[in-house]
Each structure stands twice: as structure tokens, then as C-alpha cells.
């Protein structure tokens, strides 16, 4: 998404060449491969853990930090792998996005039209909000020491980056469509009229009663 925004705003005349099918395929394949290798590494390391006590994880899914919390043998290697993985898997893309948005911001500031600047800022702001929520909470979740890890806080942080961004994505990007905005406006107006009618009817009924 950051690369797409960068090419659309900074290189608009070369967009079709820079964002062709081949480039999209390579980016998707690299992401899937990187994610698979990261998951395979943590799965292999987790298989060496022993669970001799309570093996119930009070979490929304079987995440690595709560899994290590209930392990009864040394999980130092697992913790180190999580920290290193979070730097490359989480920190790397996050820095790439930040650097791309520095160039995007520089290009936006060069736009002479005020309406053009506002449109570009609104387009990028929604993406940056999702990026900060997702990567910020993700990096926070996987870079806390095992000794001070709390399942309650871990569940809250995991919810912030696993549930909130996917929930907000359709809302943010669909509301950029004029037809969706118009339909939502009609629904809200009809709901408002219905509420006002109900309140008025109730008041009249109380007067005559």
C-alpha cells in the first residue's frame, strides 16, 4: 500500500510501469515467503518447549508470548528469536513505510492546489492510522520481556493489531466512495427522522393520557 501511494503521488506518470502485474506478484510472493519462513522458525522453536503445569492460555489466539509464559523450561532462544523476528518482519516494513511517506509528504507539499493537498493528505492519513495501530501494537507486543509479560495486557494489545485494523479498513476505504457516503447519509437521516417521530409521538401520547 505504501509503495502504491508513493508511485501514485511521487511518480504519477510512471505509475502503470512501476505498479504493473509483475511487480505486484513479486511483492505478494516475497511477503508470503517471508511470512512463511518466520512462522516456520517460530513453530520449530515452540515445538521444543515443555508444558508441565497449567497449559490453558487465556488469550484470543495461541500467540508466542503467552505460549512462552506457560512453558516450564528455558525459552530464552524463543524470546531472542521473537525479538530478532520483530525487528526484520515488523520493524523493516514499518521503516520502509515511514521512509516512503517522507517522500510522499515532500511531494504533497509541492502541490499548488489546496484542494489537491487536502485530497492527498486525506488519502494518506487513513492508511497511516492503520499502519501505526497495526505495527505499533505489534512491535510492542513482541518486544516486551517475558518476566513482565501480562496476559491481560497482551490480549488487549493483540486485539488492537489483530481485530481493530481489519475492522477499520473496510470502513475507512469504503467511505471514500461517494456512493457509499450518500447511502450512509440517507440511512443516518432516515434513522434521525424515525427517532424524532417516535419522540414526538410519545410526547403527544403523554399529553392526552
pLDDT one-digit tens code per residue, 127-159: 788 888 888 888 887 877 666 567 777 778 887
The label of the residue with cell 450518500 reads: 182
Whole-prediction pTM: 0.67
CA 18 – CA 9 distance, rounded (Å)? 12
pLDDT for 88 beyond 80: yes
CA 24 – CA 18 distance, rounded (Å)? 9
Collapsed DSSP state (helix, strand, coil) of residue 63 = coil
Sign of CA dihedral 121, 123, 125, 127: negative
Average pLDDT over residues 74-89: 84
Lowest-confidence region among 10-24, 46-60, 80-94 = 46-60
Question: Do 4 and 19 form a contact (C-beta atoms < 8 A)?
Answer: yes
The pLDDT confidence band at residue 165, using thresholds 50, 70 and 90, is confident
Question: What pLDDT score does 178 carry?
Answer: 66
Question: Do 75 and 146 form a contact (C-beta atoms < 8 A)?
Answer: yes
The pLDDT confidence band at residue 208, using thresholds 50, 70 and 90, is very low
Residue 138: partners with Cβ closer than 8 Å, 6 or more residues away = 86, 90, 161
CA 208 – CA 187 distance, rounded (Å)? 32
Q: What single-letter DSSP state applies at residue 62?
A: -
Question: What pLDDT score does 59 carry?
Answer: 75
Amino acid at each position: 500500500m505504501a509503495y502504491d501511494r508513493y508511485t501514485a503521488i511521487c511518480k504519477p506518470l510512471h505509475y502503470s510501469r512501476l505498479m504493473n502485474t509483475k511487480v505486484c506478484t513479486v511483492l505478494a510472493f516475497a511477503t508470503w515467503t517471508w511470512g512463511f519462513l518466520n512462522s516456520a522458525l517460530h513453530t520449530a522453536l515452540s515445538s521444543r518447549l515443555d508444558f508441565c503445569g497449567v497449559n490453558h492460555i487465556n488469550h484470543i489466539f495461541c500467540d508466542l508470548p503467552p505460549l512462552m509464559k506457560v512453558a516450564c523450561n528455558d525459552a530464552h532462544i524463543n524470546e531472542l528469536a521473537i525479538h530478532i523476528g520483530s525487528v526484520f518482519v515488523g520493524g523493516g516494513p514499518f521503516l520502509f513505510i515511514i521512509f516512503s511517506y517522507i517522500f510522499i509528504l515532500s511531494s504533497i507539499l509541492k502541490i499548488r492546489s489546496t484542494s489537491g493537498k487536502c485530497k492527498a493528505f486525506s488519502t494518506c492519513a487513513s492508511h497511516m492510522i492503520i499502519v501505526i495501530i497495526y505495527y505499533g501494537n505489534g512491535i510492542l507486543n513482541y518486544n516486551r520481556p517475558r518476566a513482565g509479560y501480562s496476559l491481560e495486557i497482551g490480549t488487549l494489545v493483540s486485539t488492537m493489531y489483530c481485530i481493530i485494523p481489519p475492522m477499520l479498513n473496510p470502513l475507512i476505504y469504503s467511505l471514500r466512495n461517494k456512493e457509499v457516503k450518500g447511502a450512509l447519509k440517507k440511512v443516518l437521516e432516515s434513522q434521525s427522522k424515525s427517532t424524532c417521530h417516535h419522540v414526538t409521538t410519545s410526547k403527544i401520547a403523554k399529553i392526552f393520557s
